[in-house]
Amino acid sequence: MTRNEKLHEECGVFGIISTKPTAVVPLTASALLALQHRGQESAGIATFVDGTLKTKKGMGLVTDVFSSDYLEFVANAKIAVGHVRYSTTGSCNLENAQPIETVHSKVSLALAHNGNLTNSAQIRRELIQSGMVLHTTNDTEIVNILIVKNMIETGDLESAIVGAMNFIEGAFSIVIATKDKLIAVRDRNGFRPLCMGRLGDSIMFASETCALDALGAEFVRDVAPGEVVSVDLKGNVSSRMLERASKSGLCSFEFIYFARPDSVIDGISVYEARVNMGRALYRQRPTEADYVCGVPDSGMQAAYGYSMESGIPMAPAFVKNKYVGRSFILPDQVKRENAVDVKLNPIKATVEGKRLIIIDDSIVRATTSTRTIKMLRRAGAKEVHMRISAPPFRYECFFGVDIDRRDKLVANKYDVDGICKLIGADSLEYLSLDNLKAISPSTSFCTGCFTGDYPAPVTPTLKNSFDDGISN
């Protein structure tokens, strides 16, 4: 199996259970809309209507997939799970859309997953050898099969789920709906976020707190790394821990780029983290300038922090076209470069004749920074000082973030001076690893994409599977 066929995703998940029939499906659609930044390729919701599993999935945005007719059709139910999916190049099809449903005489379930399993190839081989027929190349199907297999053996749903989760490795924040239970699981390292909320008679789980806010729900707590939380139709909540507790490893990229700034993950405000990264960037290398400018959207909060720390005013250097999709996953360099040109346009009135501090969250292949600096020069910028609110990306991510293999990462080919020359900046500074970790000194983050040191095992087989078939 190539990496493109594997689950290698930054997705959003949501699950809700209510003691009374209520608008769980429309609420799930609203929550998924709040999580849309975590995936724009496909969306899906699964619910139980009169004990029967009903799933609606489609390609595109939440608003494209769920019509008002559909939301009215399932206006009242007690349980639902939903998913928005982000794809890597080449894996964009309906087969990979989630939730993944399984209907079996022992149990019917729908499962939504955010993360990346690291031992799926081995499990897949073992399942096939034991006579199982697999219908997709999707990792999530494996989890469903493991649960059903355990159900046949034990007859107890929670043990079946815990058994399956004890078997899988890697990054997983998962929500599972059965006809009478909602179960939320977070992997042993807590790579991906997962929180719990409450609204009236409903209990819910979401990738980010911004989804709870969108529903007017109250935040209850984060699901702990390695925890399995189960909620039944009476609203009873129980919790168990997975075997083999591991070193915690919350993904630092959630704070750098991925999560919404109004979310709070494991007690850390994403907004405050980004502002502090910007402040630290100024302290690392104080630089005189006329304006501090963020590259929209994810450079904006760090730019604000830099501006506050330095006293240099913040000004908008770019207009971002809201209607352009993501340039990052386009299949070739020319397309990516053109997409950046259409997406961002400099505001001459801010830029002309000015010394600018430009802040972006990351440099991966250097497409965005090279193009943006060229645009700023064309618009008459006098000096462009690039500041990046992350350390240099040097290594692959095996735990669910779409970062290219290491030989495509610009920081693997050049040192900081070389990258500065390549992108055409007057100076370049990356956030130091220590200052990244300082956003929460009491939290143990995964910083593997910067250091090559991961909190969970990365086997040679896993590394090889990453090297196969990459086209982006």
Catalytic residues: 11
> Nearer to ligand AMP by C-beta: 173 or 327?
327
> Nearer to ligand AMP by C-beta: 320 or 382?
320
Does residue 222 belong to the site contacting ligand AMP (CB under 6 A)?
no
DSSP readout, 276-337?
HHHHHHHHHS----SEEEEPTTTTHHHHHHHHHHH-PPB---EEE-TT---STT-SSHHHHH
Nearest by Cα to 468 from 399, 405, 394, 409:
405
Could you tell me how far CA 358 lies from the centroid of its own chain? 25
Does residue 375 belong to the site contacting ligand AMP (CB under 6 A)?
no
Which run of H or of E encompasses 250?
strand 250-251
Q: How far is the CB of 7 from ligand AMP (least distance, A)?
A: 15
457: cis peptide before it, omega within 30°? no
> Nearer to ligand AMP by C-beta: 235 or 316?
316
Binding track, positions 286-305, relative to ligand AMP; x by CB under 6 A: ---------x--x-------
> Nearer to ligand AMP by C-beta: 174 or 300?
300
- Which residues does 317 contact at the CB level (< 8 Å), separation at least 6? 291, 293, 295, 346, 347, 350, 351, 356, 358, 376
462 φψ region: left (φ > 0), alpha (ψ -120 to 50), beta (else)? alpha
**Of residues 248, 368, 440, 465, which one binds ligand AMP by CB under 6 A?**
368
Q: How far is the CB of 25 from ligand AMP (least distance, A)?
A: 29
Does residue 439 belong to the site contacting ligand AMP (CB under 6 A)?
no
**Of residues 66, 172, 255, 257, which one binds ligand AMP by CB under 6 A?**
257
How far apart are alpha carbons 34 and 215 in whole angstroms? 9
Strands of the sheet with 77-85, listed across from one edge? 52-59, 42-49, 77-85, 12-22, 202-206, 195-199, 218-222
Does residue 454 belong to the site contacting ligand AMP (CB under 6 A)?
no
Residue type, 186: R
Buried b (16+ CB within 10 A) or exposed e, 296-331: bebbbbbbbbbbebbebebbbbbeeeeeeeebbbbe
**Of residues 361, 381, 384, 435, which one binds ligand AMP by CB under 6 A?**
361
Q: How far is the CB of 360 from ligand AMP (least distance, A)?
A: 5
Residue 20 buriedness (CB in 10 A; 0-12 / 13-18 / 19+): exposed
Binding track, positions 302-341, relative to ligand AMP; x by CB under 6 A: ------------------------x-x-------------
Q: How far is the CB of 10 from ligand AMP (least distance, A)?
A: 7
Of 29-37, 96-104, 126-134, 395-403, which part binds ligand AMP (CB under 6 A)? 395-403
Does residue 403 belong to the site contacting ligand AMP (CB under 6 A)?
yes
Q: How far is the CB of 338 from ligand AMP (least distance, A)?
A: 13
Q: How far is the CB of 51 from ligand AMP (least distance, A)?
A: 40
Residue 36 buriedness (CB in 10 A; 0-12 / 13-18 / 19+): middle
Of 169-177, 239-247, 363-371, 431-439, which part binds ligand AMP (CB under 6 A)? 363-371
**Of residues 5, 9, 360, 396, which one binds ligand AMP by CB under 6 A?**
360
> Nearer to ligand AMP by C-beta: 28 or 368?
368
| Structure tokens, 296 | 């929209």
How far apart are alpha carbons 55 and 100 in whole angstroms? 9
- Tell me the number of residues near ligand AMP by CB under 6 A: 18
Q: How far is the CB of 337 from ligand AMP (least distance, A)?
A: 9
- Under the rule (CB under 6 A), what is the footprint of ligand AMP? 257, 295, 298, 326, 328, 360-369, 401-403
